[in-house]
Amino acid sequence: MTDKTMRYTDQERDTLRNSAMGAMMLVSKSDPGIMGTIKEMIAGSKALRGASPEMQEIFKGSGGMPKMPKGSQGDMESNIMSGLQQSMQILSKSPQDQQNFRNTIMNACDQVAKAQGGVSDNEMMTINKIKSALGG
């Protein structure tokens, strides 16, 4: 762990990672289809791997698999949006990390949406909600 990422607890890093994965999942689910979902999640994962080293370290969380919210589509969306807002509050310790997180999530969501034949209206609506939750 680097000095920069040590300012975040394992619990905070898990929140950041779970929120990032959740945001990509929401975009993918907004335009369903099994083949599209696979392509979209691969595109999102590639985008996260292309993030800054600090963001990659933060996204490691405390280890294990990210926890995805359960429940109805509405419950999942609400929990993920809340997690994104919590993430921005956590990252307020470092405005640079906050901006890097916002840029990384928006890039990943954009890549997810574009992975299967372009951005649908539903995907764009979801991306706009995510952008709003990130304070953008």
Q: What percent of the chain has pLDDT over 90?
A: 46
Taking each helix axis from N to C terminus, what angle separates 95-114 and 10-29, rounded to the nearest 10 degrees? 30
- Closest Cα partner for 84 from 37, 33, 122, 129? 129
pLDDT in tens, 46-100: 888 888 888 888 877 667 667 777 888 889 999 999 999 999 999 998 999 999 9
CA–CA distances in Å: residue 14 to residues 33, 99, 126? 28, 18, 22
pLDDT of 61: 64
